[in-house]
């Protein structure tokens, strides 16, 4: 059974590849626990986080690159000089120091491709760990403390909420989390199917908004990495050759190109491309019946702020994933359309892989 000690140990893990795998597995366990508390008819935030973290793992390890691009990356930093010096290809070296930071090269010794991949991996890994460090304990507390209540208790709820810092997130407050866990707790005692589903969607979106604001600098840094690396690396000889306006345009174009062609979130049924419109689960309508007509006033307000597609899934494709507005538009419709997709409760790894992780090994097989 998951414990608070387990969570603390994962947060401190120096092996960033293994840490991501363990985070993904813990989100799955928390998703299962939340399903016991608020019901398994609706996916909770941890259900979505399981597969967001699994997808983050692909970005950290760079093991879902198209074959030709991966091959070009492995040869881009001057293969003859690298092999004479006994240096491995960029992605191989990246894995070495993600598992053991003491093997990290000095920045000035990294090639252009190696530096770019390094920046992406570290940005995604830091964001993955930061969100987990803030949210894993509260979800665990919610399950183990409030999950035992058979009747609504305002006293128990307020005691649980005391762990959060009141205030807006721009002042490092956690008002969205306070509101979200209140909504989860209220949903636990709701009998009306639509009211319950909408209370859970409200909580999911509030936590999603909180985490996306927290992740903003890390996502932007990861998407800016290709252009930023070319500009900064002396070997590229481009830093001073172009005016700042040209670099800013290149950055925006690069972010949009990556969003449209390379970015996805993996779920059990396959990948959802972030640069394409959200697709509902196979055989389902755009939204579950309980979420078709929004009666929850706070949820309606949140959707009006972040969902710009006018009650459809048309126009939900993200143009630039580095922009909070683009991400939240996609996420709002993704959460709403897939909230009753029971596939999201499937485990992200097979038992033998989980056993390997718990033994401190990066498991084999498709991760």
Residue 286 confidence class, pLDDT cut points 50, 70, 90: very high
Higher pLDDT, residue 360 or 116 = 360
Distance CA 240, CA 231 (A): 8
The stretch 338-365 carries a mean pLDDT of: 96
Q: What residues does 272 pair with on adjacent strands?
A: 265
Q: What's the pLDDT score for residue 218?
A: 96
- The pLDDT tens digits for 313-322 are 999 999 999 9
pLDDT exceeds cutoff 70 at 74:
no
Contact yes or no for 130/45 (Cβ under 8 A): no
The stretch 47-76 carries a mean pLDDT of: 81
Contact yes or no for 34/46 (Cβ under 8 A): yes
Q: What's the pLDDT score for residue 109?
A: 56
Higher pLDDT, residue 101 or 177 = 177
Interior angle at CA 338, CA 301 and CA 282, nearest 5: 140
Residue 46 confidence class, pLDDT cut points 50, 70, 90: very high
User: What does the chain come to in residues?
Assistant: 367
Distance CA 177, CA 166 (A): 9
Q: What's the pLDDT score for residue 117?
A: 83
Residue 186 confidence class, pLDDT cut points 50, 70, 90: very high
Higher pLDDT, residue 271 or 84 = 271
- The pLDDT tens digits for 187-223 are 999 999 999 999 999 999 999 999 999 999 999 999 9
- The pLDDT tens digits for 98-152 are 777 666 655 555 667 777 888 898 999 999 999 999 999 999 999 999 999 999 9
Interior angle at CA 266, CA 260 and CA 269, nearest 5: 115
Tally the C-alpha atoms within 13 A of residue 281's C-alpha that lie toward its C-beta.
Answer: 16
Lowest-pLDDT range of 23-27, 55-59, 185-189, 259-263: 259-263
For 100, the 3-state DSSP assignment is coil
Nearest to 61 by CA among 23, 113, 96: 96
Token digits of residue 116: 């770019």
Contact yes or no for 266/58 (Cβ under 8 A): yes
Residue 15 confidence class, pLDDT cut points 50, 70, 90: very high
The stretch 323-351 carries a mean pLDDT of: 97
Distance CA 254, CA 324 (A): 17
Q: What's the pLDDT score for residue 179?
A: 98
Distance CA 334, CA 272 (A): 9
Nearest to 307 by CA among 351, 341, 277, 283: 277
As a whole number, the mean pLDDT across the chain is: 89
Q: What's the pLDDT score for residue 280?
A: 96
Q: What's the pLDDT score for residue 83?
A: 45
Residue located via tokens 């800016």? 224
Residue 84 confidence class, pLDDT cut points 50, 70, 90: very low
pLDDT exceeds cutoff 90 at 71:
no
Distance CA 36, CA 339 (A): 16
Distance CA 191, CA 175 (A): 26
Distance CA 269, CA 343 (A): 7
> What is the percent of the chain with per-residue pLDDT over 90, rounded to a whole number?
70
Q: What's the pLDDT score for residue 313?
A: 96
């Amino acid at each position: 059974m998951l414990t608070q000690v387990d969570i603390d140990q994962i947060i401190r893990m120096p092996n960033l590849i293994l840490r991501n795998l363990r985070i993904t597995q813990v989100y799955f366990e928390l998703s299962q626990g939340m399903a016991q508390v608020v019901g398994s008819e609706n996916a909770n935030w941890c259900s979505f986080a399981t597969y967001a973290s699994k997808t983050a793992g692909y970005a950290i390890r760079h093991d879902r690159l198209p074959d030709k691009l991966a091959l070009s990356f492995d040869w881009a930093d001057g293969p003859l000089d690298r092999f004479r010096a006994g240096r491995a290809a960029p992605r191989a070296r990246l894995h070495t120091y993600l598992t053991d930071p003491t093997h990290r090269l000095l920045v000035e010794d990294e090639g252009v491709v190696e530096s770019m991949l390094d920046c992406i991996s570290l940005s995604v890994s830091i964001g993955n760990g930061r969100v987990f460090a803030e949210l894993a304990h509260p979800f665990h507390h919610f399950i183990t403390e409030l999950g035992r209540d058979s009747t609504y208790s305002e006293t128990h709820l307020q005691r649980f909420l005391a762990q959060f810092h009141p205030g807006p997130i721009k002042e490092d407050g956690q008002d969205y989390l306070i509101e979200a866990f209140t909504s989860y707790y209220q949903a636990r005692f709701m009998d009306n199917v639509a009211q319950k589903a909408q209370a859970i969607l409200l909580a999911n979106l509030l936590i999603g908004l909180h985490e996306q604001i927290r992740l903003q600098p890390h996502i932007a840094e990861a998407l800016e990495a290709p252009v930023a690396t070319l500009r900064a690396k002396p070997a590229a000889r481009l830093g001073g050759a172009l005016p700042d306006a040209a670099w800013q345009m290149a950055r925006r174009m690069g972010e949009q190109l990556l969003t449209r062609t390379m970015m996805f979130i993996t779920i059990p049924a396959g990948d959802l491309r972030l640069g394409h419109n959200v697709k509902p689960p196979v055989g389902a309508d755009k939204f579950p019946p309980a979420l078709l007509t929004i009666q929850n006033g706070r949820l309606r307000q949140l959707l009006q702020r972040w969902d710009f597609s006018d009650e459809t899934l048309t126009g939900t494709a993200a143009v630039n994933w580095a922009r909070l507005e683009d991400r939240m538009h996609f996420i709002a419709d993704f959460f709403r359309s897939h909230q009753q997709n029971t596939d999201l409760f499937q485990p992200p790894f097979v038992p033998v892989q989980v056993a390997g992780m718990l033994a401190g090994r990066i498991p084999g097989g498709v991760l």
